[in-house]
Amino acid sequence: MQTHDIRRRFLDHFVRAGHTEVPSASLILADPNLLFVNAGMVQFKPYFLGQEEPPYPRATSVQKCVRTGDIDEVGITTRHNTFFQMAGNFSFGDYFKEQAIGFAWELITKSQEQGGYGFDPERIWVTAYESDPEAAELWQRIAGMPAERIQFRDGKDNYWDMGVPGPGGPCSEIYYDRGPAYGREGGPVADEDRYIEIWNLVFMQDIRGDQSPKQGHPPIGTLPKKNIDTGMGVERIAMLLQGVENVYETDLLRPIIAEAEQLTGRSYGADAGDDVRFRVIADHARSSAMLISDGVNPGNDGRGYVLRRLLRRIVRSARLLGAEKPVMAELITVVSQLMAPSYPELGTDFRRIETVAVGEETAFLKTLSTGSTLFDTAVTEVKAKGSSTIPGSEAFTLHDTYGFPIDLTLEMAAEAGLSVDEAGFRSLMAEQRQRAKDDAAARKHAHADLSVYKELIDRGATEFTGFAELTSEATVLALLADGVRIPVASEGQQVEVILDRSPLYAESGGQIADRGSITATGLRLRVDDVQKIAKKLWVHKGTVEQGAVTEGDVVLAQADPAWRRGATQGHSGTHMVHAALRQVLGPNAVQAGSLNKPGYLRFDFNWQGQLSEQQRADIEAVSNDGVGADFPVNTFVTDLTEAKRMGALALFGENYGSEVRVVEIGGPFSMELCGGTHVQHSSQIGPITLLGEASVGSGVRRVEAFVGLDSYRYLAKERALLAGVASSLKVPSDEVPARVEQLVERLKVAEKELERNRTAAVLASAATFAERAERVGSVLLVAAAAPAGIGGGDLRTLATDIKGRLGSEPGVVVLLGNADGKVPFVVAVNKPAQELGVKAGDLVASFGPGIAGRGGGKPEMAQGSGSDPSGIEAGLAAVRGRVGELAG
């Protein structure tokens, strides 16, 4: 049975049982506790917590998941995957243990002809939480499960939570016995390789605190309703139904390995070490494609760093398998073909996904080249010291600063006859990981932190009136200061105000919050910020400027009209720029983030490479054409499926509800899902002036622009600046570019002439240095301080010229400069001197410590730099001594 069929059967089974089929959420959700969605229940968490009312009593989904804690284990074992699919059924207070067990048992054991999976009931085992005898009794009654195939386990195995404060509960896990060939008798408690877990039924009823019940700590509360959350591993079911040994041999992973075999010339199954690399390639290629599809781009932190690491592990593994050419395009193509039947976006968005992955591969191949050069330098230094071990700090620097994988460092060190201080490297890596964990822990916000708002959330959502009006009468539902409810706030006090209705926009969707006021007789409260809690409660943050405000007061809430006008210009301008980008660059210019505020917009989009001057001009022109067309701006609410059918653009990573708001500007010109405030006609945006374009990460570019009066003020300032330049050059404004170009050319000519004169002066001193060569043994040695101010490039030219003037006798040139407190140096050794055993790199070791310098190179030429000019004379003396030792 193919994996796509396994998914479909699961969903159909639960739809027939009255569940609403819900599409997989993006791998990226706005959850402060999660880097990626790692379980099927994540998108439903607000329903379990009672923060939002579920639109259906029961649901089913197959959720895309990524777990990153075991990246280093991927490939080493056949059980770990970074990306996997979790099929689940969910009840939001509708049914509990009995029906959940019945649904699962029916699907697992029903024949394949009847739409089930057809597992032999006699090979099914289950586990239950040690203090949940009810679950065991239900398994016996519903499934006829004999008591000897039901095992009780503690919280470590049979209590489920997300690893952070939030919902959880005891669980019952379903296992399949693969038979004696896979391990010993005794059920899951004896051997989880033979008895493999396929489904986990979580009886979600608790709220866990900072400490998990998995470690024996009691829950801190009870959920408003008893719920069901289950997770069935699609890949594991596929492994069993397809009769293969592990998930890497199933229909959605084995073809990726086959492609890797073609690209590398190696065979899977022939060598254990190679097999690890093949599995890394298969897992990471699929995970990377799914992450890029959901809007992640390679970067140096957070989600971007995880993706970068996955992609670089693919490149590294392919190289270790013998691949000499890039491999990413072929691998991503295979992944797309395999996964598109269940995830069509991998096909429709293939070019962008491929571009991002190939771009990172290209960059990393350059990194490998740079790292190899630095590795060679480290090897030279280690050998010069008479050591055979590369320090762990050097390996860590190569890995952490230059992205050079430790596996390659180990392999290349062995080829050079050296070892690596792996213990030192691992220690530094552990320190770095701990710092990252401490930082992540400091930034996490537990769901329990929202407890002060829970009563207010339960009352219902704040009614947002700001689409229709800027001033609304409202009732003060609550006041908070420093996270605590207070009955009254007085003059000068900073306070959070929750109203039953509000015209002030709460920050979201890239649009910053409105500024405004809350007033009543004798009261004026300045509102500086508005934030959403649980996506439904408006929290107005501000300062009481006059009088006092009391819970229960009837007040007037007003958004600042000027602020709102500028904000709508910025947000509508963002939509215009997005539309223009797609017209000029094509559909692969996909939004990756935005910020808009009065008079200003910032827009990030997926794109490889800098935009040309013409492209920037075209984007600005198309945007302003749309402004000049005075397009009507229409907004309407529809269901998500219909909005996508109409062509409305959605933001990657955003978790949309079943109903969405569509903002349409000029019909086909721009149509996006958006909850922000907008102008009524595009002409109200005013002129759009692009300020610039730059990279903000691998594969992500950013444009910034002014709109409205801010655009006019910017252009006026630029015009004044141009007029000043024209006046200084004494030419009309339209001739300034040509005049500046003439001056630049003249400057270039002058600089070239200066460079020629300076080079001639440097070379003129070569004869003098050569004449002063001293004989040390059988070697002519020039060891001298170079003229002040000479940098590394000139120093190399001078040393090469001096070496040539020493003739056919063994000759060595060592020049140490002094430029701006730095000590650049060059060592040049001719062929006769090399034959005597004098090597440039060896000489660096003799004077390098004295000038706090390091460097390296080849036997005939080495160079580098130091930072202590006071050691120059001592360094030159050390060179003379070392040459004397080597040359007799």
The reply to whether 271 falls in a domain is yes
pLDDT band at 30 (very low <50, low <70, confident <90, very high): low
At residue 35, the pLDDT reads 85
- Name the percent of the chain lying above pLDDT 90: 55
The C-alpha torsion from 581 through 586 and 590 to 591, rounded to 10°, is: 10
Last residue in a domain, options 559, 583, 614: 559
**Residues with Cβ within 8 Å of residue 18, at least 6 apart in sequence:** 58
13 appears as a binding residue in the annotation:
no
Please report whether residue 451 resides in a domain. Answer: no
What is the band of 589 on the pLDDT scale with cuts at 50, 70, 90?
A: confident
**Range of lowest pLDDT (142-151, 247-256, 427-436):** 427-436
Domain presence at residue 249: no
Same domain, 375 and 514: no
pLDDT of residue 586: 87
Q: What is the mean pLDDT of the chain?
A: 89
Which of 90-94, 402-406, 731-735 has the largest mean confidence?
Answer: 90-94
Residue 573 scores a pLDDT above 50: yes
Q: Are residues 828 and 866 in the same domain?
A: yes
For 628-675, how does the pLDDT look when each residue is reduced to its tens digit (9 = 90+)?
999 999 999 998 888 888 888 877 556 677 788 999 999 889 999 999
> Residue 569 maps to which CATH number?
3.30.980.10
Query: Is the same domain home to 352 and 416?
Result: yes
Amino acid at 387: S
Nearest C-alpha neighbor of 365 from the set 376, 357, 333: 357
d(CA 773, CA 563): 77
- pLDDT(807) > 60: yes
Instruction: Give the model's confidence band at 445: pLDDT under 50 very low, under 70 low, under 90 confident, else very high.
Output: very low
133 pLDDT higher than 50? yes
pLDDT band at 438 (very low <50, low <70, confident <90, very high): low
Residues 214 and 205: their CA atoms lie apart, in Å, by 14
Residue-wise pLDDT for 773-783, tens only, equals: 999 888 999 99
Instruction: Indicate whether 673 and 689 sit together in one domain.
Output: yes
| pLDDT at site 403 | 66
List C-alpha distances in Å: 65 to 37, 129, 174, 446.
5, 25, 20, 21
pLDDT(227) > 70:
yes
| 697 within domain boundaries | yes
* Cα Dmax for the chain: 104
Residue in this structure with the two tokens 């043994």, named with its chain if needed: 777
Domain count, the chain: 5
Asked if pLDDT for residue 495 goes beyond 90, the answer is yes
Q: 328-339 vs 302-320: helix axis angle to the nearest 10?
A: 110
Q: Tell me, yes or no, whether 438 and 513 share the same domain.
A: no
Query: Does the reported pTM lie above 0.95?
Result: no
- Both tokens of residue 141? 């009654």
Please determine, for residue 444, whether its predicted confidence score (pLDDT) is greater than 70: no
Q: Average pLDDT for residues 769-774, to the nearest whole number?
A: 89
Its domain, for residue 596, covers 564-717
Encoding tokens for residue 278?
Answer: 């093949």
One domain for residues 117 and 190: yes
Report if residue 742 sits inside a domain. no
**Is residue 275 situated within a structural domain?**
yes
Last residue of a domain, one of 685, 717, 749: 717
pLDDT of the residue at 437: 56
Domain containing 501 — which CATH number? Answer: 2.40.30.130
Q: Higher pLDDT residue, 119 or 754?
A: 119
Whether residue 39 lies inside any domain: the answer is: yes
Q: How does pLDDT run across 44-103, given as a tens digit for each residue?
A: 988 887 778 899 999 999 999 998 877 777 888 777 789 999 999 999 999 999 999 999
Q: What is the structure's pLDDT at 791? A: 67
85 contacts: CB under 8 Å, gap ≥ 6: 3, 7, 62, 63, 64, 65, 233, 234, 235, 342
- pLDDT (0 to 100) of residue 45: 85
Q: Kindly state the average pLDDT of the residues 810-832.
A: 89
In this predicted structure, what is the pLDDT of residue 416? 82
Domain harbouring 136, CATH code: 3.30.930.10
- Summarised one tens digit per residue, pLDDT across range 846-860 is 888 889 888 777 889
Q: For residue 23, list its beta bridge partners.
A: none
d(CA 828, CA 841) in angstroms, rounded, equals 10
Residue 573 and residue 538 share a domain = no
> Does residue 454 lie in a domain region?
no
- 441 or 460: which leads in pLDDT: 460
Q: For the segment 512-553, what is each residue's pLDDT rounded down to a tens digit?
A: 999 999 999 999 999 999 999 878 899 999 999 999 999 999
pLDDT of 105 strictly over 60: yes
Say yes or no: 539 and 664 in one domain.
no
Specify whether the CB–CB gap between 771 and 792 falls below 8 A.
no
Residue 65 annotated in ligand binding: no
Beta strands 195-208 and 166-177 are antiparallel
Q: DSSP assignment of 205-248, as one string?
A: EEEE-SS-GGGTPPPSEEEEEEEEEEEEEHHHHHHHHTT-SSGG
Task: Give CB contacts under 8 A, 24+ apart, made by 369-374.
Answer: 370/402, 371/398, 371/402, 371/403, 371/404, 371/408, 372/412, 374/398, 374/402, 374/404
The answer to whether residues 555 and 569 belong to one domain is no
Residues 402 and 282 in one domain: yes
| 307 residue type, one letter | L
Q: What pLDDT shows up at residue 446?
A: 38
pLDDT band at 448 (very low <50, low <70, confident <90, very high): very low
Q: What is the mean pLDDT of the segment spanning 470-495?
A: 93
Say how far apart CA 407 and CA 129 lie, in whole Å.
Answer: 42
CA distances from 399 to 288, 368, 758 (A): 21, 10, 40
Domain-terminating residue out of 443, 473, 493: 443
Confidence band of 451 (pLDDT split at 50, 70, 90): low
Q: 576 and 493, same structural domain?
A: no
Q: Is 399 among the annotated ligand-binding positions? A: no
Any binding-site annotation on 571? yes
Q: What percent of the chain is predicted at pLDDT more than 70?
A: 95
- Same-domain check for residues 8 and 30: yes
The answer to whether 135 and 104 have CB atoms below 8 angstroms apart is: no
